[in-house]
Structure 1
Amino acid sequence: MAPFDLSSELSAVIVAAGLLFGLVGYLITNVAPAGLMVPGCVVLAALEDLASLITITSVTIVTVGLMKVLQRITILYGKRLFAVTMLVSSSLSLGAFLALHLRYPFLFGGDTLSFLVPGLMSFQLVRPRALQTLAATALVTCGTGAVALAVISL
């Protein structure tokens, strides 16, 4: 069972807060979180279903590893890097879903964003400044989570 039952309006507020914090953080530090949509979506995954967050994290880690290997084999940068990263991540997410969903249905959230977020995160993490990106993502996600919990407690 989900720890919090979030309405679609509250979910939109959480994603918007993540976008706002991510944009402000980027303007101040010039380091973007791993995709501006990611912090809000990560908070939603953590609030709705922690197992889904674990799946998102696992797919992201595997995608980053595969992309590092692919970057050594072929020339990937810019839009091509983004497209291949999203394709690899979506394929991994879909493969994991098809292989594990019947046996472990709790590992997967019911939304499309849980299939896209690993790709957005991976795209930023295979580029230079990955540690700074991780730090910015963690900071923005924590801020978004604090706002989400404050709004939920109202």
Structure 2
Amino acid sequence: MAAAGNHAAQNMQRLADLITQRRASLGWSKEKAADEAGISYTTYTRVEEAQNVQAQSLVKIESALGIAPGAGRAVLRGDMSLKLADGGELLDGSKITPIQPEWLEEEVQRAVTDAAIGTIPEATGEKIQELQAKVIETLRRRGVLPESGE
């Protein structure tokens, strides 16, 4: 009996990890995920803490996060991955490391500098800085980087 309970707890933790991973991949806070699912923050948090929630709450979370219908229940029954509505899947044990926007901006600037020096050796420092600023502005406009001060 303890073994069955242990498997249930492991499956619940796997689901919690995969739901957390999916939310992080969307760049959402727990608050946003709860709002998008139309459930309370407390209920949403219970899922990420591997606690029981009503089946209807799990269905709402699946829909909001772009998870295939019934995929959460399948993980609770022992599936090792979480199927996504777009046909993809999240695998147990894989990790997403959130990229910090300020780190990404610095890396983009370095990459632009390296590329400019490597392809346009006559480019002045001022022109390289203009190019960096234009690339950062474009990435912000596309939503890849947050606006300054966010």
Rg (Cα) greater in structure = 2
TM-score for both structures, normalised by structure 1: 0.27
Which of the two has greater helix per residue? Answer: 1
TM-score normalised by L of structure 2: 0.28
Return the structure number with greater relative CO, CA threshold 8 A, min gap 6: 1
